Structure 1
Amino acid sequence: MKIVIIVTYFLPQRLAGAELASYNLAKHLTRLGHDVHIITTHDPGLPYFHMMEGIYVHRIPYSKFKIVGTLSFCLAIFQTINKIKPSIIQVQGIGVGFISPLILKKLLKIPYIVCGRGSDVYLPNIYTKIISKMILQNADAIVALTDNMRQKMNEILDREIYIIPNGIDLNSFHAISPYSMLEKDKINIIFIGRLHPVKGIQYLIKAIKQVHEKIPQVRLVLIGEGEQRKSLEDLVERLGIEDCVIFFGSIPNNRIPDILNRADIFTLSSLSEGFPTVILEAMACGIPIVASRVGGIPDIMQNGVNGYLVEPKNPDDIAKKILDLLQHDDLRQEISQNNKTHVKVYGWEKIALRFENIFLDITQNSDT
């Protein structure tokens, strides 16, 4: 089967959820014998077309002027897909830039499925809601990452929606040799992600101040870069906790398993989330988790079983849960084992097979 996956960005431009999910799904569908084409935006220095591990990657220029960029991107998607002539199209998101598959379905009878990703579902504006409804109405199938996301998508359009989570490479994420740059005599609380307001990192930093006052060996290691770095560094200085908050910067994606294996607790204090794969990665390494009760997070982890769910924007709650884990070794060990067992259902091999079944069902039975 010839499959097209449309995603706004792709490796190596970004290494976030949608990009990594698209890459891993494409890679495993290719291993199942399918021809998979990725259509994405182009960045300077990258080829317009190349192969990546058997995946055909098409990169389309995108104007910095939003309206012009969106229109030209949609037209180029249309032209590229018309050349590829796929059996089916998968769209990673429900935003305005993904209206091309709807037009292609009408003109060329190519079926498409839509996958909600996160902010496109949880933080839409009125304009994108109108376009999103049209895209969802005409899709041959809709996929949400979590039950919470399914409910949000049903607010846009009430129809059947599959739930298929992001997967994880279980061969990469497991207990391995620790990352040597983290000191052995410290208790490491790890965050991995963008330094962005939606991640609620300021509340985590305030919580760490409380934790550090009770357990001086604790330190917070922030992995990632982003627009909020300077303001977060200023906050750390005002709180006087420069000695226990480390801005580690970005690391190569293949080093994330190493650094997670040095973590004592993984934290994610987000204000909004779709399906944060990094939680699965922490689970696979047996790390207890403290994460916000928002978006799809409660669908991934169970409070008290895989770690603790906390209320967003609540440093006191975050600090209390971190302290509880650090002060109870038996509980941490139990959660560690729970997480290693729980994460096994999220292997990309199983996720790819679920998508393949949907593709086959649509292409064999659709009357588009």
Structure 2
Amino acid sequence: MKILIATGIYPPDVGGPATYSARLAKEFPERGHDVKVLSFGSFRFLPKFARHFFYFINVLWMGHDRDVIFAQDPVSVGFVSVIASKILRKKFVIRIAGDYAWEQGVMRFGVKELLDGFLDKEYGFFVELLKKMERFSARHANTIIVPSNYLAGVLQKWGIDKSKIFLIYNTVSFLERIPKKEARRKLGISQDKNILFAPGREVPWKGFKMLKDLDIQNARLVVGTFPRDEYTLWLSACDIFLLNTGYEGFSHQILEAMAFGKPIITTDAGGNKEIVKNGENALAVEYNNKEAWRAAITNLLADPKLQEIISQGAKETAKKFLEKDMAGETIKVLGSVI
């Protein structure tokens, strides 16, 4: 099978879509498939409209000998890719790991609601245009892949027939765990200080501002986006992994923290409900509830027994996802449309 992966970002860019696309680009050829990758990141140096035009031209050029075009979002790469697939008469599959219109609405157009509240409301011209674009891509796809039941439900609220939607959970990316003391030595931090690790993009729904306002005694909060090697060091070195989020399609980072056996505090937002079991493999706390978060962190730091319970439960949960064959399941879905 000849596949064109159209992705918004790709290594050395950091983020879930980059990790996902790179993993498939490695595993598909190992299983006998011919893969090309086209990253929108290669065109970001161009003026805004020019970058989309030249990306479209390149989808046409690179897609002409492909069996299927596999887009990784419904707008920035998906919208032009579905049009190119129609021109080329190629099969088109899209993976939707979030609501692009909502994300852009929050970051650029003043949307205040979280995703569940956003779906049933109308907004200004640009947000409604993005809604139409992502739903156009979804309607005209031969098949849609989602990483959680939660997102399958979101797409059904868009009006997409559930028979077109296939659930393929993320699997745990391989990260080399480093002994905690060694990781701290490499980072140049004290062996005695409690490290609270909250990685991720600085987007409004991640709730970093509230975490930064917490004052936890004898604890250092580490927040931000990190290169992969440094991220692995901090994940190895930390005492508690934090994800104060108002929205998750399905979190790679929670799975990675679980695989490392880290005590986790997060929310039950979105797809988190499908992996987070409060008191068993994580603590689930209300999004942006400052006092609840302070209490959860303080109590967990003071309770080694609870830390061990959550750590063991987290590793058991991660093991289930390590056993999943994400690439194999994706190949089956792509092959089914040809």
TM-score by length of 1: 0.78
Residue 195 in structure 1 maps to residue 194 in structure 2: no
Counterpart of 2:208 in structure 1: which amino acid? Answer: I
Residue 110 in structure 1 maps to residue 114 in structure 2: no
SS of the residue corresponding to residue 346 of structure 1 reads: helix
Shift of 1:337: 1.0
Counterpart of 1:118 in structure 2: which amino acid? Answer: G
Q: 1:168: which partner in 2?
A: 172
Give distance in 2, aligned partners of 1:150 and 1:175: 38
SS of the residue corresponding to residue 99 of structure 1 reads: helix
Q: 1:230: which partner in 2?
A: none
Give distance in 2, aligned partners of 1:336 and 1:292: 17
Q: 1:105 to 1:222 in 2, by over 3 A?
A: closer
1:146 to 141, 145, 148: 148
SS of the residue corresponding to residue 83 of structure 2 reads: helix
Give distance in 2, aligned partners of 1:188 and 1:260: 10
Shift of 1:271: 2.9
Shift of 1:151: 1.1
Deviations 1:212-261 (A, max 9, x none): 2xxx322212243xxxxxxxxxxxxxxxxxxxxxxxxx3x3023233212
Q: 1:22: which partner in 2?
A: 21
Contact 1:174–1:285, Cα closer than 8 Å, also in 2: no
Contact 1:61–1:73, Cα closer than 8 Å, also in 2: no
Residue 262 in structure 1 maps to residue 237 in structure 2: yes
Deviations 1:143-170 (A, max 9, x none): 1111111111111123121111222234
Contact 1:198–1:271, Cα closer than 8 Å, also in 2: yes
Residues 196-345 of structure 1 mapped to structure 2, 5 A cutoff? 196-206=203-213, 208-209=214-215, 212=216, 216-224=217-225, 250=226, 252-345=227-320
For this pair of structures, how many residues does the alignment match? 311
SS of the residue corresponding to residue 237 of structure 2 reads: coil
Q: 1:8: which partner in 2?
A: 8
Q: 1:118 to 1:183 in 2, by over 3 A?
A: farther
Counterpart of 2:218 in structure 1: which amino acid? Answer: Q
Q: 1:358 to 1:274 in 2, by over 3 A?
A: same
Counterpart of 1:168 in structure 2: which amino acid? Answer: V
Give distance in 1, aligned partners of 2:22 and 2:212: 33
Identity across aligned pairs (percent)? 24
Contact 2:259–2:315, Cα closer than 8 Å, also in 1: yes
Shift of 1:36: 1.4
Shift of 1:172: 2.9
Contact 1:170–1:344, Cα closer than 8 Å, also in 2: no
SS of the residue corresponding to residue 332 of structure 2 reads: helix
Give distance in 2, aligned partners of 1:30 and 1:167: 19
1:179 to 176, 184, 192: 184
Give distance in 2, aligned partners of 1:10 and 1:28: 15
Q: 1:68 to 1:157 in 2, by over 3 A?
A: farther
Deviations 1:93-138 (A, max 9, x none): 1115422332343333311111112241643621122122221112
SS of the residue corresponding to residue 262 of structure 2 reads: coil
Contact 1:94–1:121, Cα closer than 8 Å, also in 2: no
SS of the residue corresponding to residue 296 of structure 1 reads: helix
Counterpart of 1:75 in structure 2: which amino acid? Answer: I
Q: 1:15 to 1:353 in 2, by over 3 A?
A: same
Give distance in 2, aligned partners of 1:170 and 1:339: 16
Contact 1:62–1:72, Cα closer than 8 Å, also in 2: no
Is there any run of 5+ residues in structure 1 with no aligned partner, and where? 43-58, 225-249, 364-368
Residue 64 in structure 1 maps to residue 11 in structure 2: no
SS of the residue corresponding to residue 143 of structure 1 reads: strand
Contact 2:146–2:168, Cα closer than 8 Å, also in 1: yes
Q: 1:39: which partner in 2?
A: 38
SS of the residue corresponding to residue 205 of structure 2 reads: helix
RMSD of the TM alignment (CA)?
Answer: 2.3
Shift of 1:139: 1.1
Deviations 1:14-71 (A, max 9, x none): 21111111111221222222121111135xxxxxxxxxxxxxxxx4566332x34323
Is there any run of 5+ residues in structure 2 with no aligned partner, and where? 106-126
Give distance in 1, aligned partners of 2:21 and 2:102: 20
Q: 2:120: which partner in 1?
A: none
Contact 1:7–1:22, Cα closer than 8 Å, also in 2: yes
Counterpart of 2:19 in structure 1: which amino acid? Answer: L
Counterpart of 1:164 in structure 2: which amino acid? Answer: I
SS of the residue corresponding to residue 305 of structure 1 reads: coil
